[in-house]
Amino acid sequence: MKRRERTRQLIELGGLVAKAGLIDLTDDDRAVIFGILVDAAASLRSEGRDKALLLWWRRGTRAFQALAPDREPA
C-alpha cells in the first residue's frame, strides 16, 4: 500500500472512531479506545469470530443508515 493510500485509510478509520462516539464517550482516552479495539481483535481471533462479524456488520449497517439523512448528496 502506498503512503498516500495508507494515510487516507488511517484518516477514514479515525473518522469511524469519531462517528461511533468513542472519542466523547471515553473523554478522548486513547488507552481506553485502544483497549476497546484490542478486545474486538481478541473476539475476531476466537471461535465466535463469525458471529461477532455478523453482529457488528448488522450494527454498523444500521448505524450508517441512521446517519444517511445527515450526509450530503454525492
Mean pLDDT of all residues in the chain?
94
When computed from its CA atoms, the radius of gyration of the chain, rounded to whole angstroms, is 14
Q: Positive or negative, the Cα torsion across 65, 67, 70, 74? A: negative
Question: Residue 47 is inside which H or E element, if any?
Answer: none
- At 17, list the grid cell: 472512531
Q: Which residues of the chain have pLDDT under 50?
A: none
pLDDT at site 69: 76
Which 8-state DSSP code applies to residue 46?
S
